[in-house]
Amino acid sequence: MSSKELRSGFTTGAAAAAATKAALLYLIKKEAFQNVVIRSLSGENLSIAISSTKKISENSTQSIVIKDAGDDPDVTHKAEIGATVSISSSIKVGNEQSQPPLVEINIKGGKGVGVVTKPGLEVLPRNHAINSGPKKMIKEAILDIFSQLFRQNDKELKSILKDKNCVVVDVEVFVPKGEELAKKTLNERLGILGGISILGTTGIVKPMSHSAYIATIKSGVSVALATRDLATNNRADAHKDKNAHKDKDAKLVFTTGRRSEKVAMLLFPDLPDEAFIQIGDFFQASLQASIEAAIKEDTKIDVSIVVFFGKAVKMAMGFAHTHAAKSELTMKNLSNWAKSITDSYELSQNIANANTARHAFSYIYPDYPKVIDYVGSKIVESADRFASEALKSLNSSLDYSPKIRAVILDFDGNKIFDSKIFDQTDSQSFNQNMEIV
């Protein structure tokens, strides 16, 4: 394993703030900066390179930053993030000219920045997807410039103000290829259309933190619950029963990727697209997110987990993050389970010596369906445990435990196990007669 230290990067929000600062400095000081320093929301100073700055009109300038995600995989890595900044002055009643002038800041999205169309996200529908963190960084970058200019009694600022007492700064954030980049994200599923989101809780991208993916899962769950409540409330209003939605659990379907999601959508044709959440390898984190959302929305939830056999075995083993599981350990446990269930030494050895989960599956199915059944029952058990741990960590006084349903697919996408129709007494008898490793 390489000992090379992984390099941090900066978020789209930090890029937008840096572009804003560079454009504003050019407007006031008539100087194009190659680098600007902004302050992250965690208090660190970030020096960010400016790719280009150009004058748009007498009172408007545009700057572009090339987003650098560091060593963290990111769809927006190397994307152009820009800001068009306009400046004007006005008179505000009640602010005497002897006092420092007011600064009024307006921030909106432009080309390539998505528009929110569904509830459940931090940004309300019909607004551009620029979260509060980036807006705060943009505002702080602007105010940092003016605080220095006010103290210095800057002559360029005076020429902008003239006899006015308020500086008005309009910022339009844009991403030239944002609409194209958005196709590689889950934005459309979340109801963010026409471009990417401008994100960032701190401004810094920590390499291999996985925080971005987990944040996407949380957003997906929030949207699923919010749109479900909205739709049900509309039906309830139609029947003049505003509490009708409380009688039904919210339904979520967790898959690990696009292929399993396509199958899941066929299995659950009556559910809206928003109900399907791609959790990747984040088994535990997805259940944590669902519990948090259930508590926030004060609703019960049903969680169906639809996975191919390879991921199913890792979930059955209770791995919080399924990508981290070692294949040797997976095959060893599966081999032990098969031996205890079938009493077949040959099957056990074939599984132990298998190169992959697909290889092991070829020995198990269709001849030994009870092994599949046991793996499915263990997925439910693992999910229940993670949900219970999440409830405990959140100190919830009420029981928001989700109803868990596990569906296992073979490698062609056929359903080979469904806990909804699985006799749970089988699982109990397995546990009573097996020594689980």
CATH code of the domain containing 156: 3.30.2110.10
Q: Is residue 207 within 8 Å of 7, Cβ to Cβ?
A: yes
Judgement on whether residues 49 and 166 belong to the same structural domain of the protein: yes
Judgement on whether residues 189 and 260 belong to the same structural domain of the protein: no
The domain boundary residue, chosen from 205, 229, 255: 205
Other CB atoms within 10 Å distance of the CB of residue 387: 23
Judgement on whether residues 229 and 185 belong to the same structural domain of the protein: no
| pLDDT at site 326 | 57
Judgement on whether residues 183 and 230 belong to the same structural domain of the protein: no
> pLDDT digit string (tens) for 335-356?
999 999 999 999 999 999 887 7
Measured CA to CA, the distance from residue 345 to residue 245 in angstroms comes to: 52
Judgement on whether residues 176 and 33 belong to the same structural domain of the protein: yes
According to DSSP, residue 244 is labeled G
- How distant, in Å, are the alpha carbons of 19, 62, 81, 236, 410 from that of 36? 9, 14, 15, 53, 54
Judgement on whether residues 228 and 189 belong to the same structural domain of the protein: no
> pLDDT digit string (tens) for 360-404?
999 999 999 999 999 999 999 999 999 999 999 988 767 888 999
For residue 22, report the phi and psi dihedrals to the nearest 5 degrees: -65, -40
Residue 122 has pLDDT above 50, yes or no: yes
74 lies in some domain = yes
| Nearest partner of 338 among 327, 328, 351, judged by Cα | 351
Judgement on whether residues 228 and 152 belong to the same structural domain of the protein: no
Q: Which two tokens stand for residue 208?
A: 């291999």
Lowest mean pLDDT segment, chosen from 166-170, 281-285, 423-427: 423-427
The domain boundary residue, chosen from 205, 228, 257: 205
Lowest mean pLDDT segment, chosen from 32-46, 47-61, 231-245, 309-323: 231-245
Q: How confident is the model at residue 220 (pLDDT cuts 50, 70, 90)?
A: very high
Judgement on whether residues 182 and 223 belong to the same structural domain of the protein: no
Rounded average pLDDT over 134-141 = 96
Q: Is residue 278 within 8 Å of 255, Cβ to Cβ?
A: yes
At residue 92, the 3 state secondary structure works out as coil
46 lies in some domain = yes
Lowest mean pLDDT segment, chosen from 21-30, 236-245, 325-334: 236-245
User: Could you write out the DSSP letters of every residue in 41-79?
Assistant: TTS-EEEEE--EEEEEETTEEEEEEE---TTS--TTTT-
> pLDDT digit string (tens) for 139-196?
999 999 988 888 888 788 777 777 777 889 999 999 999 999 999 888 888 889 999 9
What are the respective helix, strand and coil percentages of the chain, to the nearest 5? 45, 20, 35
121 lies in some domain = yes
My answer on whether omega of the bond before 366 falls inside 30° of 0, hence cis, is: yes
User: Could you write out the DSSP letters of every residue in 325-347?
Assistant: --HHHHHHHHHHHHHHHH--HHH
116 lies in some domain = yes
Judgement on whether residues 233 and 126 belong to the same structural domain of the protein: no
Fill in the amino acid letter for 276: F
Rounded average pLDDT over 245-269 = 86
Counted domains in the chain? 2
The string over 259-284, giving b where at least 16 C-beta atoms fall within 10 Å of a residue's C-beta and e elsewhere, is ebbebbbeebeebeebbbbbbbbbbb
Measured CA to CA, the distance from residue 55 to residue 240 in angstroms comes to: 57
Top pLDDT among 4 and 383 is at 383
52 lies in some domain = yes
For residue 196, report the phi and psi dihedrals to the nearest 5 degrees: -90, 175
Cα dihedral: 199, 201, 204, 206 (round 10): -100
User: Could you write out the DSSP letters of every residue in 140-177?
Assistant: HHHHHHHHHHHHHT-HHHHHHHTT-SEEEEEEEEE-TT
Domain hosting 256: range is: 211-433
Lowest mean pLDDT segment, chosen from 27-41, 160-174, 252-266, 358-372: 160-174
| pLDDT at site 56 | 94
| pLDDT at site 194 | 96
The domain boundary residue, chosen from 205, 222, 255: 205
2 lies in some domain = no
Length of the chain: 437
Q: Which two tokens stand for residue 206?
A: 């920590």
383 lies in some domain = yes
1 lies in some domain = no
Judgement on whether residues 244 and 346 belong to the same structural domain of the protein: yes
Cα dihedral: 287, 291, 297, 299 (round 10): 100
The string over 156-175, giving b where at least 16 C-beta atoms fall within 10 Å of a residue's C-beta and e elsewhere, is ebeebbeebbbbbbbbbbbb
At residue 108, the 3 state secondary structure works out as strand
Judgement on whether residues 185 and 237 belong to the same structural domain of the protein: no
Say what the pTM is: 0.70
Judgement on whether residues 218 and 178 belong to the same structural domain of the protein: no
At residue 401, the 3 state secondary structure works out as coil
The residues, ordered by sequence, that sit 6+ positions from 145 with a Cβ below 8 Å of its Cβ are 21, 24, 25, 28
